Structure 1
Amino acid sequence: MDEEEIPVVDTQSLTIKIANSGQQKLTATSSPYNSPSLISPPSSAFVSALQSPYISPRATLVTNPTQENQETLIAPLTSVIHPSPPVSYCGSQSDDVPSTSYTPPPERYDFSDDPTDTKLKIVTCVPVSGPETDPRISFSFPVPRISFAKGSVSPASNAKLRSCDVYIGFHGQNPNLVRFCKWLKSELELQGIACFIADRAKYADNQSHEIADRVICSVTFGVIVVTGCSFFNHLSLEEIRFFAQKKNLIPLFFNTDTNEIASLSNRNGDTKKCKEALDVILKCNEFRLETDESNWRSCVSKAAGILRAKLGRKSVVENCKEGFEELPFPRNKSFVGREKEIIDIEMTLFGCGDSFEQESSVPSVKGGTPGQSEGLADDESEADVGRGKYINLELGKNKETNKEAWVERNSLKRSKYKKSRSGKDKNLSMSVVCINGLAGVGKTDLALEFAYRYAQRYKMVLWVGGEARYFRQNILNLSLNLGLDVSADAEKERGRIRSFDEQESEAFKRVKREMFRDMPYLLIIDNLETEKEWWEGKDLHDLIPTNTGGTHVIITTQLNRVMNFDLLQLQPLTTPDAMILIRGRRKKEYLAGEVEFLHKFDEKLGRSSFGLWVVGSLLSELAILPSALFEAVNQVPVEETTSCSNLTIPDQQFCRTNPFLMKTLVFCTALLQQSNDSRDSVASRMLQVGAWFAPAPISVNLLAAAAKKIPVNRNRFKKWTKRMKVALCFYSGQCLTSQAWKSEEESALLLVKLGLARKANRQTGCWIQFHPITQIFAKRKDGLVAAKANVQGARKLGNPVTDSDHLWACAFLVFGFKSEPPVVQLKAMDMVFFIRKTALPLAISAFTTFSRCNSALELLKVCTNVLEEAEKSFVSQIQDWCHGSLCWKKKLQSNQRVDEYVWQEVTLLKATLLETRAKLLLRGGHFDSGEDLCRTCISIRTVMLGHNHAQTLAAQQTLAKLVRMRSKI
């Protein structure tokens, strides 16, 4: 039968790139069928490309004379061959479960989804029957829709279609609806349930409808997301009725309920079908789900649980996140103000949720053409290289994340995107928010409050400390929360050995790929110090891609510029909110005269949220009047606030520009030192050592172990504490200093009560985290004693897994690293203990668990150099003693004698470090360097332990393996 002539359709925006195709062209004769090709690699776990709604049944590829031969345009009247889709075709980047392509958007948005629109025009998006087109046959019939292809469909294709377990149908342009449906699909795929998601009203060709109909007829369950628009679309009504007849319907109400749906259905002209569909939904009481913006996560989890149970699947992720606390701190019950900022963040990330006219979210990075993809020339994924030639139908996806893009963007939509990028159009959502403000203004509290309010809209909240030294490790720590394996490669006798750079890069990319896909995460980077990574100088662009997928990112920082993102400038609290905060937890009312002193505090502290909270805590815990507290704080000598010998230049500048805040903190320290019958309380010493730990939660046990290493000294505030006592004598009965703290935990919680630290969420034990300003203050004076106590405490109780940040902080204090000199000087035996108990386990854990190969090897190298310097000092002492006069020898012989036991321990530990470095270098293919280190280790152990000693033999085995591996190259 002759082909009927079909009107030419404008397809200027449909561009297909052929990878590795050279000059070859595809024509209508390339495939025996006018349908998607059924060719698929035998190992492919993905559903056939026949399911892809991107494919048009009447299309050909013609050469565009204005572009390179590698790009072609779709034209009417013919068909093309479509090999199997590339990896991660669905956009969720799931590589181990069958998946399908996501629904493309319509070519034209010439209709409204608003149920209340009086000009509502129901558009079916189905080709209208006429002399030039064949009528569509509904899947509601017992027999599936006949194929428009000239040839028959192979059984293999039908088998792949049947591999889909669940069909997810929805209708509407609300981006939050699309976001929720993608989340549901990704969650089901994570559970091993193959899904097909579609808004069929956006299909523009018959074959897309045909593919969806075949899937609908073959799936086990149909999840229909019901919105106010569903009953105005006959395709959604058709889906509801069909799955209800098969008794496998699971309706999910999105931001609506049955009463609203009933009222909206009365407006539909086809009230019979609407009432029939409504009756069907009302009868589905067993599996009917309802969700709004407050329970997205719960609803997705419940839906996954129902389908998993019905399909007989076991959960593959329920054990991955046990014991993981999403948010680092409890919710701040005293949080005040910032409602405008929270609304601004919500609008930026989610757009206008009630508007159905929104487009998809665009990256918030400035530059480039708004609303456009990165370009097909940059759109080559790993599948390009590994699979050879294929036609990439995922038009406009970003390089970092396989995201589908609209097929056509007219000039009106482009202008909307331009408005959104300049901040004038709030309908469109972006994915990154940067909160900028001065230290202590409340950036972390704002991010924490937003996370608690909107946690249900995300699969998980991921909180990362942005401090430069610890940022990379904090990102890799997310692998534990996400259930990822980022460990380094084991020793390989066969196969290619990857370099350390490759292993580190792959570990980082694995975390990055998991975070930035269709699964919605909220990533909060708190206190970002620099855009450059501290260890290797990599840019922040390496972490945050242009397209963040379903993930939203909130960054708190003092930087004036972050990756060209728009900054949300956080201003100090308004006066009414500041007065609420400064009243403390008890919210006590004061007379007008006392309120004036509250205003004085507000003025003197520069309206710092941190300072106001500390003053409010003092007022609450001491039960003191504001006037008395102001007088006591004012009595703090100026010299006590100016000592900044251990601080960096920016921190020194901060202390000088905030003298009254420093006075307030000195007052708090004096209170801690006045506890019962002790000149230096445990809480005060905890404050001193806490300044030198990493900016991360720390266990009270580790904190107390370090605090006990600080000797009890005289009270350096003795000159004025008597005057302070006189000022506070009236309140001494209820003062904190009169309480006897019975445990270390209570001492730590005292710091929390005074506002100097936060209590952290951890499953076991008590954990706290010091405020950054508190740490700056505590370093100001007598810091070296506290720093040494920090190192000794970490050596005693530090755990490389739970306390890795704090152990790295101790390593920085002892070894310095880079251009920074060491802060703590240890004796030879103390250095041996520190390296053996802290540095060596830390390096091995960083290498094996997190693939931090270069950092671990650098730490081990520094340790080796330190021990070599200790050996040289021993030799120097012996030489000095031997060359001295006889009377000098007799006079100082007892003092100058070198401890041979310490010397032996230093040398043997050096051999252990050399062997460890050789074993690690073996994993990265550095056989020559490893062999040299291993031979040195064998020489040391042969001399000191003997040739047949177990440790010597073990080193010889390592050497043999290195030689064998080197010979295979």
Structure 2
Amino acid sequence: MDAAEQISTLDLTIKIAAAAINSSPYSSAPVSPLSSAFVSALQSPYISPRANADDVPTPATTLSLPSPPVSYSGSQSDDVPSTSYTPPPEKLKIVTCLPDSAPPRISFSFPIPIPRISFAKGSASPAGANAKLRSCDVYIGFHGQNPNLLRFCKWLKSELEVQGIASFTADRAKYADNQSHEIADRVICSVTFGVVIVTDYTLLNHLSLEEIRFFAQKKNLIPLFFDTDAKEIASLFSAHADNSKECKEALDGLMRCHEFKLETNEGSWRNCISRAVGILKGKLGRKSVAEREVDVCEELPFQRNKFFVGREREVLEIESAFFGCLEQESESQAGNKFISMDVGRCQEPNLEAWVEVEPTVKRAKQRKPKGGNVVCIAGSPGVGKTEVALEFAYRYSQRYKMVLWFGGEARCFRQNILNISVNMGLDVSADEEKERGRLRSFDEQEMEAFKRVKRELFRDLPYLLVIDNLETEKEWWEGKDLHDLIPRNTGGTHVIITTRLPRVMSFDTVQLKTLPLPDAMALVRGRRRKEFLTGEVEFLDKFAERLGRSSFGLWVVGCLISELGILPSNLFEALNEVEHEEVNGGSGLSNEEQQFCRTSPFLMKVLSFCAAVLQQSKGNRNLLASRMLQVGAWFAPSPVPVNLLTAAANNAASTRNKLWKWTRCLKLAFCCCSGCVSSQTWKGEEESALLLVRLGLAWKVNRQPGCWIQCHAITRTFARWKYGLGAAKATVQGVRKLGNPLATSDHLWASAFLVFGFKSEPPLVQLKAIDMVLFIKRTALPLAIGAFSTFSRCNSALELLKVCTNVLEEVEKSFVSQIQDWCHGSLCWKKALQSNQRVDEYVWQEVTLLKATLLETRARLLLRGGHFDSGEELCRTCISIRTVMLGHNHAQTLAAQETLAKLVRMRSKI
């Protein structure tokens, strides 16, 4: 070749390269020098260049230009770093129908594999362009417009990324531009394993066929059958003898690589994804920690109601809002159908794929979800809102990574949100000031804790969040809006809210009406579903009518009939003998609760009869179960361990004298009883607690270790109405003895509300000075420290400590006033108070030292929020108290001085 030809060839090469670079959307990138080798790092013999019909064949050794740089920040997870890339839908040109004139896109060819060839020594291919693609581990290919399929694929991708496995998800049939196809092609050739989600329509798409054949030939195919199985896929093709070569190869590849039997349907999503992730982790050689299989019963608070009746329409309505539903446009009479193999070659993914044999068979039409990921179940008290949410959670738990359930009561709402972090394995503790390099305010620390929970909760990983019994749309502590917790875009998470409010924000609402009469009759028959004579059935109708077909009331009556073995007529007559008392105004009930008790007289009679049954069983008194009912009303509306419930019940007073006037109705009832409740005395703690469950007054909780129960909201209202504030003090004493700041923090907060009251609410329990000291030392102080350090509840913890300090100061003032009165009193009065005064001096000392401890604790916490001036003032007061009470060189005094020195040092740095 002469010099002129060499120059011409070189000039042509430069022009081609320049034209390609100028036509690239990334033309602003710096151009590599001419000496660089334009060799793709992902060159593969399995990818052919895209060609038009009039393209001129080029030699196989043609150099390829470097791919334009690609951004790989397309992961749907905000907080999980990922090296994978899935082009976001808004950046893609989505097509549903390609014109017939469009040239076929040549993507894959299957020659005999040849080794990749580098055409230049020391090639300088741009590392930034393909480094991310080379590090991609798994390709997830799917095809279809089923929203549940897309949800499943997003879940699988996110789960892999959580495990550190970079993944790429694509439905290439929706790609309209060449750049997206090029990215997907390079990923397919570079990944270690290819997961193809196989549905009934996967093999109708030629791109899916290519993926299956390519990965099967490389022996790295892992098929996952979605809402179908290998046998069904094979049967669809066996009916047609003229299968194309490509389809046969794809089908053979599926059958050959189906060693792991990854098949899923609507009831096994979670298990299938867990298996798939475990298989890929093992094949990729990742370190795997054996994860315990979590049963859904461990996630949900209560056992599934085996006697759940009715409400099918409401459950399906929630399912439709979340997942949509399948609507079969027409059904085949003979059931004979096969898939046309010609459709697999078409460009249009939505073409009619079914070929009729005798009748016309149409594809199932997938109705999309309504678009709302939040559904409210609204209704009156006792109508069965919690039961509907519980039934939905049990039915569809496999469609979620985890079910998270917490109470929506106003006072507990904030803590319950942060408690989710424990189940999700998140750390929301307050950071030390040195860890961040700067001091953050308490508001910033609390906001960061909530952001961590929200960031994990509302992304592509699907969670089911159930907020049970939401009392208000505003958060109680700071008055924040509910949207601060639940964003408009909840990602893959679905939220169910049960509430007595008519409507919550702008969320979709399912109004729960009373049960239809047939379902009400089934519920009132009880667990044994005993058949009664016609005369007795009429009394069942009367129960349903008098109770307004309330699910809770009917269930309690059914439990009485089953457990007592009493006839409905006898029970109805006994209930009529019970007198309905007026609501006690000092029982701590809200206006709504008092109104409910007034407007539900027959239900109050039923519950009063249950209370009498707990105390009278053929002459044998079961005081423990009765006292559990009394004190259970003052615990937080959350699960209570039986040992804590027993500790509180042992401090409750007997109420037998209040039930003497019901002797006639009790005798009338028990003379007709044949059940187990009437024939034995319940002595054990767990047996007494479970008796409340058997009478329908409480739920048994799925929590370990030990036995846990939770009283129904109406049961709590009744107990407060019936017994007043007498049992509240017993609850506080029980929490003080056995309360655990970590396991039972919500009950510690409930006792703090009873003793101190917050905001404008007055305290309901008055404690003696020594009891107040013990309560603050054993309950309030550990609770505040735990809330601050473990859950970043900085402001709430400081508020609690401040309230405790104020209470102790009031006790000190009372002591001073008592001493002054004693000094100015008569001699006889001095002699009368002399013995008590010696005890008060000891308590006074304990009060003063505890006050110093509270001041030092507040100073240390204020230090972590940058409030140095306030902390210094509190710390100096603490040092003064300890110097007088303990001495200058006492260890506690020296510790307070160290805290003061740190405060002064930090303030000087500002």
TM-score interval, normalised by the smaller of the two chains: 0.7 to 0.9
1: CA distance between counterparts of 2:852 and 2:315?
57
Say whether 1:193 aligns with 2:165.
Answer: yes
Q: Secondary structure at the match of 2:139?
A: strand
Alignment of 1:746-895 (within 5 A): 746-895=687-836
2: CA distance between counterparts of 1:191 and 1:750?
45
Say whether 1:605 aligns with 2:605.
Answer: no
Alignment match of 1:571 (pick from 484, 489, 513): 513
* CA deviation string 1:515-544 (max 9, x = no partner): 100001011111111110000100000011
Q: Is the 8 A contact 1:144 1:217 kept in 2?
A: no
Aligned partner letter, 2:883: T
CA shift for structure 1 position 898: 5.8
Alignment match of 1:653 (pick from 591, 595, 601): 595
Q: TM-score scaled to structure 2, two decimals?
A: 0.86
2: CA distance between counterparts of 1:49 and 1:779?
73
Q: Secondary structure at the match of 1:30?
A: coil
1: CA distance between counterparts of 2:115 and 2:205?
21
Say whether 1:329 aligns with 2:302.
Answer: yes
Alignment match of 2:86 (pick from 101, 122, 126): 101
Compared with structure 1, are the counterparts of its residues 924 and 321 closer, same or farther at alpha carbon in structure 2 (3 Å cutoff)?
Answer: farther
* CA deviation string 1:643-687 (max 9, x = no partner): 774311100000011100000000000001114766561000000
- Larger deviation, residues 167-176 vs 489-498: 489-498
CA shift for structure 1 position 256: 1.2
Aligned partner letter, 1:98: T
Compared with structure 1, are the counterparts of its residues 947 and 494 closer, same or farther at alpha carbon in structure 2 (3 Å cutoff)?
Answer: farther
Q: Which residue of 2 aligns with 1:91?
A: 76
Q: How much identity, in percent, do the aligned residues show?
A: 70
Say whether 1:455 aligns with 2:397.
Answer: yes
Say whether 1:682 aligns with 2:619.
Answer: no
2: CA distance between counterparts of 1:671 and 1:512?
47
- Number of matched pairs: 823
Q: Which residue of 2 aligns with 1:389?
A: none
2: CA distance between counterparts of 1:888 and 1:736?
56
Q: Is the 8 A contact 2:468 2:497 kept in 1?
A: yes
* CA deviation string 1:320-366 (max 9, x = no partner): 9799921000100010111111111111100125689xxxxxxxxxx
Q: Is the 8 A contact 1:434 1:568 kept in 2?
A: yes
Aligned partner letter, 1:101: T
Alignment match of 1:207 (pick from 179, 183, 199): 179
Compared with structure 1, are the counterparts of its residues 137 and 833 closer, same or farther at alpha carbon in structure 2 (3 Å cutoff)?
Answer: same
Alignment match of 1:281 (pick from 235, 250, 254): 254
Say whether 1:243 aligns with 2:238.
Answer: no
1: CA distance between counterparts of 2:827 and 2:152?
87
Q: Which residue of 2 aligns with 1:940?
A: 881
CA shift for structure 1 position 782: 3.2
Aligned partner letter, 2:899: T
Alignment match of 1:252 (pick from 224, 227, 252): 224
Aligned partner letter, 1:318: E
Compared with structure 1, are the counterparts of its residues 644 and 967 closer, same or farther at alpha carbon in structure 2 (3 Å cutoff)?
Answer: closer
- The higher radius of gyration belongs to 2
Q: Secondary structure at the match of 2:781?
A: helix
CA shift for structure 1 position 821: 0.2
Q: Which residue of 1 aligns with 2:127?
A: 155
Alignment of 1:918-933 (within 5 A): 918-933=859-874
CA shift for structure 1 position 724: 2.4
2: CA distance between counterparts of 1:452 and 1:811?
35
* CA deviation string 1:462-481 (max 9, x = no partner): 10111111111111001011
Compared with structure 1, are the counterparts of its residues 140 and 862 closer, same or farther at alpha carbon in structure 2 (3 Å cutoff)?
Answer: farther
Aligned partner letter, 2:277: A
Q: Which residue of 2 aligns with 1:728?
A: 670
Compared with structure 1, are the counterparts of its residues 461 and 438 closer, same or farther at alpha carbon in structure 2 (3 Å cutoff)?
Answer: same
Aligned partner letter, 1:272: K
Q: Is the 8 A contact 1:435 1:567 kept in 2?
A: yes
Alignment match of 2:681 (pick from 740, 747, 771): 740
Q: Is the 8 A contact 1:49 1:85 kept in 2?
A: no
Compared with structure 1, are the counterparts of its residues 27 and 612 closer, same or farther at alpha carbon in structure 2 (3 Å cutoff)?
Answer: closer
Q: Secondary structure at the match of 1:768?
A: strand
Q: Is the 8 A contact 1:493 1:965 kept in 2?
A: no
2: CA distance between counterparts of 1:81 and 1:258?
40
* The structure with more helix, counted as a fraction of residues: 2
1: CA distance between counterparts of 2:432 and 2:297?
27
Alignment match of 1:295 (pick from 268, 271, 282): 268
Q: Secondary structure at the match of 1:196?
A: strand
Q: Which residue of 1 aligns with 2:407?
A: 465
CA shift for structure 1 position 795: 0.2
CA shift for structure 1 position 844: 0.6
Q: Secondary structure at the match of 2:153?
A: helix
Say whether 1:695 aligns with 2:637.
Answer: yes
CA shift for structure 1 position 906: 0.3
Q: TM-score scaled to structure 1, two decimals?
A: 0.80
CA shift for structure 1 position 894: 3.6
Alignment of 1:504-653 (within 5 A): 504-639=446-581, 645-653=587-595
Alignment match of 2:191 (pick from 202, 215, 219): 219
Compared with structure 1, are the counterparts of its residues 704 and 126 closer, same or farther at alpha carbon in structure 2 (3 Å cutoff)?
Answer: farther
CA shift for structure 1 position 170: 0.5
Q: Which residue of 2 aligns with 1:174?
A: 146
2: CA distance between counterparts of 1:872 and 1:212?
77
CA shift for structure 1 position 740: 1.4
Q: Is the 8 A contact 1:103 1:199 kept in 2?
A: no
Q: Secondary structure at the match of 1:167?
A: strand
2: CA distance between counterparts of 1:931 and 1:125?
80
Aligned partner letter, 1:169: G
Compared with structure 1, are the counterparts of its residues 281 and 873 closer, same or farther at alpha carbon in structure 2 (3 Å cutoff)?
Answer: same
Q: Which residue of 1 aligns with 2:421?
A: 479
CA shift for structure 1 position 747: 0.2
CA shift for structure 1 position 161: 1.5
Compared with structure 1, are the counterparts of its residues 770 and 427 closer, same or farther at alpha carbon in structure 2 (3 Å cutoff)?
Answer: closer
* CA deviation string 1:881-907 (max 9, x = no partner): 112234443454445556211000000
Q: Is the 8 A contact 2:563 2:676 kept in 1?
A: yes
Q: Which residue of 2 aligns with 1:967?
A: 908
Q: Which residue of 1 aligns with 2:103?
A: 128
Q: Which residue of 2 aligns with 1:110?
A: 96
CA shift for structure 1 position 717: 1.2
2: CA distance between counterparts of 1:180 and 1:354?
20
2: CA distance between counterparts of 1:886 and 1:770?
54
Q: Secondary structure at the match of 1:710?
A: coil
Say whether 1:304 aligns with 2:277.
Answer: yes
Q: Is the 8 A contact 1:49 1:83 kept in 2?
A: no
2: CA distance between counterparts of 1:776 and 1:101?
53
Q: Is the 8 A contact 1:138 1:145 kept in 2?
A: no
1: CA distance between counterparts of 2:556 and 2:765?
31
Q: Secondary structure at the match of 2:467?
A: strand
- Larger deviation, residues 559-568 vs 863-872: 559-568
Aligned partner letter, 1:170: F
2: CA distance between counterparts of 1:799 and 1:589?
47
- Larger deviation, residues 205-214 vs 796-805: 205-214
CA shift for structure 1 position 964: 1.0
CA shift for structure 1 position 2: 6.7
1: CA distance between counterparts of 2:511 and 2:829?
70
Q: Secondary structure at the match of 1:781?
A: helix
* CA deviation string 1:97-124 (max 9, x = no partner): 433224537635534xxxxxxxxxxx69
Aligned partner letter, 1:202: K
Q: Secondary structure at the match of 1:734?
A: coil
Aligned partner letter, 2:141: G
2: CA distance between counterparts of 1:478 and 1:139?
51
Q: Is the 8 A contact 1:696 1:769 kept in 2?
A: yes
Q: Is the 8 A contact 2:374 2:496 kept in 1?
A: yes
1: CA distance between counterparts of 2:68 and 2:906?
47
